[in-house]
Structure 1
Amino acid sequence: MLWLILGLILFLGVHSVSIIDANWRDQMAARLGPVAWKAIYGLIALLGLYLIVIGYAQARLAVDPVVFYQPPIWTRHITLLLMVPVFVLLLAAYLPGRIQQTSKHPMLLATKIWALAHLLANGTLADLLLFGGFLAWAVADRISLKRRAPVPAPGAPAGRFNDWIALGAGLALYLFFLLWAHKTLFGVSPIG
């Protein structure tokens, strides 16, 4: 559990720099140079992600995990339904169009839906730390965006087919994860 907690602190911590002090982030990028700043930021995020994966895997293999609640089986169906727009929103974050414009911050919305959906289907301490941590971070980041200047995200140029690309590719990714990747990567099949 220690690795999971340390990973969450590193990963969500580095992603919280803008929430805490966007000016400090800009100063560090100016002082170190944009490439060095992004390299340091990226290495910390990757280390955090690695520790999250290791820690969560260890917690799932624990002989006697701490269970906070046992979700009813029907919540898994809600989880499957909630996950449908997640990949569409993730792609829409980089494909300017109506989906991006309507959701305002599609990646944060995708993160909130993903985390909530997984909290509905899982009730151990490790699940609460992982998915609850991401949900709390996404809510805090969304609130902080109301008081700070937006930073343009890299992405494709605006185009009339971007929404269709996000929708088609997002649904294909959802099916890919549903039918194969989730079981292969995480050892759990979402559909039984």
Structure 2
Amino acid sequence: MQILIAGVALWWVSHLFKRLAPGLRARIGDGPGKLIVTVASIVAIVLMVIGYRQAEFVPIYTPLPGMGHLNNLLMLIAMFLFALSHSKGSLRPRIRHPMLASVVVWSIAHLLVNGDLASIVLFGGVGLWAVVSMLLINARDPWVPPAPGPVRKDIVAAIIALVVYGIVAAIHSWLGYNPFLGTYG
């Protein structure tokens, strides 16, 4: 569990560094600062994956029956929001933080089907980071929505989301959990 907690903590620190210590971040410089965040993020992800896979199963609550279907729908929405964050379509100006919103949806989706302590630490911790990030950004930076783009770019984002969703589902199945059947392999 310590490895998982360290990974989540490193994720928070690396991603909130710019917001919580802007002077220090500015002195480091843009290129080196981005490199530090990238390396720390990769290490955080590795720690979270290893820590989650090694964590003892400690049940906290029992997910309701049928939540797998809601999880799958929410994951598709999360993938679309993530794709939308890189889009210049007609929907992009309507959502200020599509990438962070996708993380919140991802987190909620996984907490609906995982009621153990490690899942709460991982999904709850990263989801809470996304909410805190949105609040910090909103408190400091005014938002000027980008100009809406063509609907075809929203369609491209939806297609990308479907492809990524299929890849993520395949990886989950390869790791031993079929998200469509709700079974461990």
Quickly name the TM-score band, shorter chain normalised: 0.7 to 0.9
Residue 182 of structure 1: aligned partner:
172
Residue 121 of structure 1: aligned partner:
113
Match of 1:165 among 156, 172, 178: 156
What are the Cα deviations for residues 12-71 of structure 1, in whole angstroms up to 9, with x where unaligned? 22112244x2xx33x334322211111112111111111111100101xx3xx2100121
Residue pair 1:8, 1:52 contacting (<8 A) in 2 also:
yes
Deviation at 1:9, TM superposition (A): 0.4
- The yes-or-no answer on 1:85 pairing with 2:74 is no
Structure 1 residue ranges (4+ consecutive) displaced by more than 6 angstroms after TM superposition: none
Matched residue SS, 2:140:
coil
Residue 6 of structure 1: aligned partner:
6
Whole-Å Cα distance in 2 between the matches of residues 10 and 150 of structure 1?
Answer: 27
Deviation at 1:146, TM superposition (A): 1.7
Residue ranges of structure 2 left out of the alignment (5+ in a row): none
Matches for 1:1-192 after TM superposition, within 5 Å: 1-19=1-19, 21=20, 24-25=21-22, 27-59=23-55, 62=56, 65-149=57-141, 159-160=149-150, 161-178=152-169, 180-184=170-174, 186-192=175-181
Q: Structure 1 counterpart of 2:178, which letter?
A: S
Could you state the TM-score of these two structures normalised by the residue count of structure 2?
0.87
Q: Structure 2 counterpart of 1:174, which letter?
A: Y
Could you state the TM-score of these two structures normalised by the residue count of structure 1?
0.84
Matched residue SS, 1:83:
helix
Residue pair 1:89, 1:100 contacting (<8 A) in 2 also:
no
Change (3 A) 1:15 1:151: farther
Matched residue SS, 1:176:
helix
Report the count of equivalent residues.
178
Change (3 A) 1:142 1:30: closer
Whole-Å Cα distance in 2 between the matches of residues 105 and 98 of structure 1?
Answer: 15
Residue pair 2:90, 2:149 contacting (<8 A) in 1 also:
no
Whole-Å Cα distance in 2 between the matches of residues 181 and 145 of structure 1?
Answer: 33
